[in-house]
Structure 1
Amino acid sequence: MYLYFLSQGLTFTQVVLLEVAYNLTTLIGEVPTGYISDRFGRRPSLLIGSIMITLTLIGIGFASSFFGLLVLFVCWSMGYNFRSGSEDAWLYDSLTDNEWSDRFAHVRGRGEAIALVIGAGASVIGGYVAGFNLAYPFFLAAAIMAVGVGVVLTMPEPTSYQSADTDRLQFRESVDVIKRTIGIRRIRAFVLYYFVLFAAVLYIISIFLQPVFETAVLELGAPEGTVEPLLGWFYAVISLFAAALSYHTGKIYETIGIKGWFLTVPFIIGFGLTTIWFVPVLAIPVLLVSRSVVETSRSLAIQHINSHVGTVGRASVLSAMAMVSSVTVIPFQLGSGIISDVASPLLALSLAGIACIVGSALLLVVSSPLQSTETTVKAASD
């Protein structure tokens, strides 16, 4: 995607502005779309989101200007707004129907593992297709997303959602559920630790992975025309590593736990990013590890949040978490875009690594975000 944008003549700052527009739309749209999911159902919300994303992908493949892409990124964000909280809320509620809610991280991890393995093959194909035209992978992605629209139509609403009293749910009540969840001190601290800091760093890595990878492989002597296929293979390897981790999310949750994971992984990623400014070729293994931990980290974080909120308002709370990330990542995006244009993306990622180490350490000292708690937030109808 980012190589495609750069080939269209966009600067790093303009690419980052597209991401800023995406995240500002998330800020505005996440809570209202979460309320729609809580009020009218998970499936309608997922259906609207899937249709919007399909149409947006087609539009991006035809776009030829910064302003056209800007509009499309707003639409893309709205599509994911409708899906973001609804997906995990649907899964958690479906597991609750069978009294398996404590296995959310395990089941979500296995599902993501399957998706990532399939994505590995898609990455290789996409890399070669992009070698012909960087717009073609967007059309292929749109076709696959259209199949997803059909899949959503076959998904039933969970019984626990249907039996909840959502018909009278008011928007103000959804906001109250969010406030009560954030009102738990340790949850609030965890939101700062993961959704504000670590998630923002991982997001920045995703933006600059492609130009940094290009710099690294060219320095290693790869011919310039082979970058796109090599990038496709690299994404495939990332997907396989991520799939292996995601497949064992349940085991990670049961053995080292949320605390053990988040006490170590942010510091490993931060240290790795810091080194690539000095040794650029290290970017390849660092990017591999950094991108591989994204889904497992997200699954564990959502498991932690889910355990503190009831069925009614669940999608709103999860959407609010996405909203928090979308707001706080904006300064990271703007700063890293400017630094990349003035110096290089390598320096931007190295500084992000330093911010990850220092910020994580300060939060651990000041707010104890990973201390366990038995407090549970109940929704208004519980």
Structure 2
Amino acid sequence: MFYGHRSNIINLYLIKFAKWFNLIMPIVVLFYQDNGLNMQEIFWLKSIYSIAIVAMELPSGYFADVWGRKKTLLAGAILGAGGFAMYSFSHGFWAFAVAEIVLGLGHSFVSGADSAMLYDTLKASKQERTYIKQEGWITSAGNFAEAIAGVCGGLLATVSLRLPFYFQFGVAAIAIPAAILLREPKIHLHEKAPNFKSILQTVKQTFTHQYLRSALLVSAFTGTASLTFAWFVQPFFQEAGLPLTLFGVMWTLLNLSVGVSSMFSYKVENRLGQRYALLTIILGLSIGYLLAAWKISLAGIAILFWFYLIRGIAHPILKDYINRYTQSEVRATILSVRNFVIRINFAIIGPLLGYLTDHFSLSSALLVTGISYAIVALISAIPLLREKR
């Protein structure tokens, strides 16, 4: 039995809380617009953030596998807090861009390492079969934190659109002591750390293993679709005519729906099995995009809840599919490959979708994204859909 099991999970909850208690997200588009940015410039900022993540994603996964998950998570926590400190006093596109780069580097050190720490913590305790449940509960806790933050951020924004950023720095700093208190699972400490050349070889081999490749690509394309949809929510609220005072409330309710469905994702997978769980995720998210494009109105906000419920189910299930086919000594690297694909996808399509929104319509951007996701996700999922478990 790995006796750091409980303390690790508690500290991973705290790291997730610090990452997801996002006071700025419900009002960040309004904040950017208040500083003179249009939607295309906003998507450019998020592309810069994604490029920063892409630049460090694979190296950070390697660091997590070689240096240890704990050190990597600590580096990510420090950079995350530093990025929000910079944002608190920044004005204009280029100053925001620098803060986004620091935040992107911090994100890359946390992504992959956190799930790898969780899976190997459970594996050291011979409880890896509970991974979907634990990942679902941690994801759920993160979404509940983001839901509560939606109300708090909305209230703070009524005083000043910059005030949520000041408080966000304090929240992000919580991850620093939590990372310090983590303990490396013995299963990881006792395994020989691969060199960077072997890591690159592993990444190459990933795309020759049909089931791992399929799981990674489906998860990455689904992550891209979820990330993109989140940036459409506030423009959707604006175009639907939702009062600003309700932005935080609706953001809270959306994230509560993700939190609830994440808690039961393991039951969905157990009940439906791999094939039908995958189809439910892919078709459910695609339909959400198409319906959102069709009905931009106050009544259409109900469609957003459909999307967020499916999103909550998707995250733990798809990460578990990746972990099933991945060895512990390269787990963080492989999970970083997933995040690498998500961010490079978003860096490419983000400005294009911003252009579509500014020069055509929000409906056009939603429609294009939904159709594109359905096509690439279904093609990528073919090996897993055919697999007999």
**What TM-score does the superposition give when structure 1 sets the normalisation length?**
0.89
Inter-CA distance 293–59: structure 2 relative to 1 (3 Å threshold): farther
Mean CA deviation greater in 299-308 or 343-352: 343-352
Determine the C-alpha separation between the residues in 1 that align with 2:305 and 2:30.
18
After the TM superposition, which residues 115-154 of structure 1 pair with which residues of structure 2 at under 5 Å, given as runs? 115-154=142-181
CA drift of 1:361 comes to 4.5
Aligned equivalent of 1:192: 217
Query: What do the CA deviations read for 1:195-243 (whole angstroms, capped 9, x no partner)?
Result: 13x3222221111211111221x1xxx5xxx41x311111111122111
Aligned length: 361
Of 48, 59, 63, the match for 1:21: 48
Query: What do the CA deviations read for 1:230-275 (whole angstroms, capped 9, x no partner)?
Result: 1111111112211111111221222223432220232232223223
Of 336, 340, 347, the match for 1:323: 340
- Counterpart contact for 1:181–1:308, Cα < 8 Å: no
Q: Does 1:214 align with 2:238?
A: yes
Amino acid aligned to 1:188: R
CA drift of 1:30 comes to 0.6
After the TM superposition, which residues 241-280 of structure 1 pair with which residues of structure 2 at under 5 Å, given as runs? 241-280=257-296
- Counterpart contact for 1:90–1:157, Cα < 8 Å: yes
- Counterpart contact for 1:306–1:314, Cα < 8 Å: yes
CA drift of 1:357 comes to 3.1
Determine the C-alpha separation between the residues in 1 that align with 2:95 and 2:254.
31
Specify every segment of 5 or more residues in structure 2 that has no aligned partner in the other structure, as ranges: 1-27
Determine the C-alpha separation between the residues in 2 that align with 1:86 and 1:325.
16
Amino acid aligned to 1:186: Y
- Counterpart contact for 2:53–2:105, Cα < 8 Å: yes
Aligned-partner SS, 1:132: coil
Aligned equivalent of 1:378: none
Of 249, 273, 281, the match for 1:233: 249
Aligned equivalent of 1:349: 366
CA drift of 1:67 comes to 0.6
Q: Identity of paired residues, percent?
A: 21
Q: Does 1:55 align with 2:82?
A: yes
Q: Does 1:173 align with 2:198?
A: yes
Aligned-partner SS, 1:208: helix
Determine the C-alpha separation between the residues in 2 that align with 1:373 and 1:75.
44
Determine the C-alpha separation between the residues in 2 that align with 1:251 and 1:118.
22
Aligned-partner SS, 1:15: helix
- Counterpart contact for 2:40–2:354, Cα < 8 Å: yes
Amino acid aligned to 2:90: A
CA drift of 1:362 comes to 4.7
CA drift of 1:347 comes to 2.3
CA drift of 1:73 comes to 1.0
- Counterpart contact for 2:284–2:310, Cα < 8 Å: no
**What TM-score does the superposition give when structure 2 sets the normalisation length?**
0.87
Determine the C-alpha separation between the residues in 2 that align with 1:283 and 1:201.
19
Amino acid aligned to 2:275: K
After the TM superposition, which residues 5-20 of structure 1 pair with which residues of structure 2 at under 5 Å, given as runs? 5-20=32-47
Q: Does 1:284 align with 2:301?
A: yes
Determine the C-alpha separation between the residues in 1 that align with 2:300 and 2:34.
22
Aligned equivalent of 1:182: 207
Aligned-partner SS, 1:313: helix
Determine the C-alpha separation between the residues in 1 that align with 2:388 and 2:204.
18
Aligned equivalent of 2:386: 371
Mean CA deviation greater in 17-26 or 42-51: 17-26
Determine the C-alpha separation between the residues in 1 that align with 2:209 and 2:146.
37
Amino acid aligned to 1:135: R
Amino acid aligned to 2:200: V
Aligned-partner SS, 1:10: coil
